[in-house]
């Protein structure tokens, strides 16, 4: 089993890689401005930051949306939502650059003046935005797939020789699910909602039945309404009154009861 603490270095590596990409983008803008614009080096630095900082901030927000809400979906859904997200990123980046360029040295006393780009510059900026979004989305997808692969590898190492599938009733039919695809199972009225690495499914199998049938060294019931796969835990934070707020690899969070929190803590020692 991979404990929550084991996942922190991987997230640190992702953050360092993202920072390296940001520095690379900054240097690219510095070179372009140096070759094409006759101005002081300090102005080159300012213009490069004006372009790079908003791109990294908005790109981080996009990654935060893509990981839990887009990449777990079907491939067709992933493809369809890229168009509006790319346009949203490009337009947001353009507006952020206009705002940053308008903040002169005396903006507190003289106000903000934000002249737009000329038409051809606007078209070029939007093209850059869509292209940069494609790179950010690809980077986000690589991180997501790497995390899923690491999670599945941890599952195999944690349970050698054990059955890796589970038969459950979905839509009135028996369906075989791979255990390493199951992230969590939650009670939903008369149903159980199964969160998989690529979407959700509703099953008429009760949560108690799932608890009895799932390997206890790979799954844990942390609440009367939630079962989680242990290797899908990204981190766990105190939620007060002895409970824990658990972040899963899908980007979703579940709250562990006091007894569930104690059980999870005992496994991380």
Residue range 44-63, pLDDT digits in tens: 898 899 899 999 999 989 98
114 shares its domain with 131: yes
**155-212, pLDDT tens digit by residue?**
444 445 456 788 887 777 788 888 888 999 998 777 889 998 888 888 888 888 888 8
- pLDDT for the residue 112: 64
- DSSP symbols for 40-60: -HHHHHHHHHHHHHHHHHHHH
Question: Among residues 86, 121, 156, which one ends one of the domains?
Answer: 156
The terminus-to-terminus CA distance of the chain in angstroms comes to 12
- Last residue of one domain, picked from the residues 124, 156, 188: 156
CA-to-CA dists, residue 206 to 47, 226, 240, angstroms: 58, 11, 29
What values do phi and psi take at 105, rounded to 5?
-65, -25
Cβ burial of 38 (10 Å; 0-12, 13-18, 19+) is exposed
Number of domains in the chain: 2
| Percentage above 90 pLDDT, the chain | 33
Q: Which residue has the tokens 């608890």?
A: 211
pLDDT of the residue at 220: 93
Domain with 180, as residue range(s), is 165-267
Q: Which residues pair with 255 in a beta bridge?
A: 245
Are 30 and 120 part of one and the same domain? yes
In three-state secondary structure terms, 133 is: helix
């Amino acid at each position: 089993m991979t404990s929550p603490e084991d996942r922190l270095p991987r997230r640190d590596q992702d953050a360092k890689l993202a920072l390296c990409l940001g520095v690379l983008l900054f240097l690219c803008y510095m070179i372009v401005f140096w070759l094409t614009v006759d101005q002081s080096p300090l102005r080159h630095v300012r213009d490069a930051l004006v372009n790079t900082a908003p791109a990294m901030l908005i790109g981080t927000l996009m990654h935060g949306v893509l990981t839990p809400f887009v990449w777990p979906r079907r491939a067709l859904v992933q493809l369809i939502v890229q168009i509006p997200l790319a346009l949203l990123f490009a337009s947001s980046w353009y507006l952020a650059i206009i705002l940053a360029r308008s903040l002169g040295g005396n903006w507190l006393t003289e106000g903000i003046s934000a002249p737009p780009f000329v038409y051809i510059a606007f078209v070029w900026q939007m093209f850059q935005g869509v292209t940069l979004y494609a790179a950010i989305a690809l980077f986000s997808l690589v991180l997501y797939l790497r995390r899923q692969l690491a999670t599945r590898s941890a599952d195999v190492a944690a349970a050698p020789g054990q059955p890796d599938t589970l038969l459950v009733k979905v839509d009135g039919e028996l369906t075989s699910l791979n255990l390493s695809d199951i992230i969590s199972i939650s009670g939903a009225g008369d149903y159980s909602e199964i969160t998989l690495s690529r979407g959700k499914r509703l099953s008429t199998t009760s949560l108690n039945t799932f608890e009895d049938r799932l390997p206890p060294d790979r799954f844990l019931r942390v609440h009367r309404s939630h079962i989680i796969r242990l290797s899908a835990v990204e981190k766990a934070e105190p939620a007060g009154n002895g409970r824990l707020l658990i972040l899963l690899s899908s980007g979703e969070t579940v709250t562990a009861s006091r007894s569930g929190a104690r059980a999870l803590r005992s496994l991380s020692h």
